[in-house]
A = this chain, B = another copy of it.
Amino acid sequence: MKFFNDLADFEAAEINDLVAFARDLDQRPQPRALEGKVLALLFLSPSLRTLASFQSAMTRLGGGVFVISPDMSIHSIEARSGIVMDGAAAEHIREAIPVIASYSDAIGIRAFAKRERLSYDLEDSEFRAMTSLVDVPYINMESAINHPCQSLADWKTMDDLGIGTHGNRFVLSWSWHPQPMPMAIPAATVHMAALRGMDVTVLRPQGYQLPGTIMARAQEAARASGGTVTETADRDEAMQDAQVLYVNSWTSQHHYGDARAEEDFKHELRYWLVDEPWFSPSKKNCYFMHALPARREVTVTDRILDGPRSVVIPEARNRMLVQMAVLHRMLSES
């Protein structure tokens, strides 16, 4: 495996194989599989689960990591092209990334959306510019518009819960959040559920439609898998017999890059807070999923997050397990 950037790069059988391998590595440890192998972790955005789960994954397989983050004791890093570097930044990403990669057998990169121009983020321009500088295998640890490690963990989480694929209803709901959040998780999630062949509904208020390119990509995946993708602002309709309510926050495409305008726009949407009444239209045992971190009593109530519907902890643990499978496939033959 030369890169792990997008679930769309894999056949469903390959995804199922990775999930099965993750389960196997959980039960039958391979503590020498990657001995002497090094994973570089480059964080241009903050992290907890990703930082911890990748370190743990490499240790469990006998390898190691090093972590580079501009917050650490390094020179600040410039990313713009053609710049005259006479300011604070001492290092350009055009050297930093190939150098870091040259010390590693694979590199994981996290770089959130800039949230300035929508088209720039939708095309994942920054992430592509960075991976073009790398000649070792790379892993997308969340880019402007994708988060394949989260999606693979979510896929395994649903398998673990016995939630099937075709004909099973998956609801991705927007939720209120005090800040304008990126679209990586909703874009990755709607696509992942569509790839599984589920009946996917995006539930969101007016103004929070996902961009057309994201929806079109998910619908194309659904056509191939036998699933469906629809969207609605009607909560009861969306939640009808839902088996999963997956919650995330994202910024409005209509106010992209304008935090003030969005704040005004979403001012009256604070009631969009997930709580028990949301689940009543479903006659199924509907689970609550969230990639974390989740803002308590803002995005979701304590009683949901701490209650029996929530699977957020095993969902987070699956990050580590599926990443072990990816790393093993990527590095054990190299």
Q: Is the CB of B60 within 8 A of A36?
A: yes
Interface centre among A69, A83, A99 (most CB of B within 10 A): A99
Cβ of A226: which chain B residues have Cβ within 8 Å of it?
none
Over the window 68-85 of chain A, the binary record of Cβ atoms lying under 8 Å from chain B Cβ atoms (1 yes, 0 no) is 110111110010001111
Q: Is the CB of B83 within 8 A of A296?
A: yes
**Residues of A participating in the B interface, judged by any CB pair closer than 8 Å:** 29-32, 35-38, 40, 43, 46-49, 51-53, 55-56, 58-66, 68-69, 71-75, 78, 82-87, 90-92, 94-96, 98-100, 102-104, 178, 292-298, 302, 305-306, 312-314, 316-317, 320
Q: Is the CB of B61 within 8 A of A38?
A: no
Cβ of A36: which chain B residues have Cβ within 8 Å of it?
29-32, 59-62
Q: Is the CB of B72 within 8 A of A71?
A: yes
Asked, given contacts A55-B64, A59-B64, A64-B55, whether A73 binds B100 with beta carbons under 8 Å apart, the answer is no
The distance in angstroms between the C-alpha atoms of A179 and B313, with both chains bound, is 39
Copies in the complex: 3
Interface centre among A36, A40, A83, A84 (most CB of B within 10 A): A36
Q: Is the CB of A68 within 8 A of B84?
A: no
Q: Is the CB of B66 within 8 A of A64?
A: no
Cβ of A90: which chain B residues have Cβ within 8 Å of it?
293, 295
Q: Is the CB of A94 within 8 A of B306?
A: yes
Asked, given contacts A36-B60, A83-B297, A90-B295, whether A99 binds B31 with beta carbons under 8 Å apart, the answer is no
Interface centre among A78, A294, A313 (most CB of B within 10 A): A313
The distance in angstroms between the C-alpha atoms of A100 and B60, with both chains bound, is 15
Distance in Å from the Cβ of A272 to the closest Cβ of chain B? 13
Q: Is the CB of B99 within 8 A of A296?
A: no
CB-CB nearest in chain B for A30: B36
Report, nearest first, the 7 A-B pairs whose CB atoms are least far apart.
A31-B36, A59-B64, A91-B293, A55-B66, A102-B317, A85-B295, A71-B73
The distance in angstroms between the C-alpha atoms of A313 and B306, with both chains bound, is 46
The distance in angstroms between the C-alpha atoms of A84 and B103, with both chains bound, is 43
Distance in Å from the Cβ of A248 to the closest Cβ of chain B? 13
Cβ of A47: which chain B residues have Cβ within 8 Å of it?
73-74
Interface centre among A64, A82, A298 (most CB of B within 10 A): A64
Q: Is the CB of B85 within 8 A of A68?
A: no
The distance in angstroms between the C-alpha atoms of A73 and B51, with both chains bound, is 9
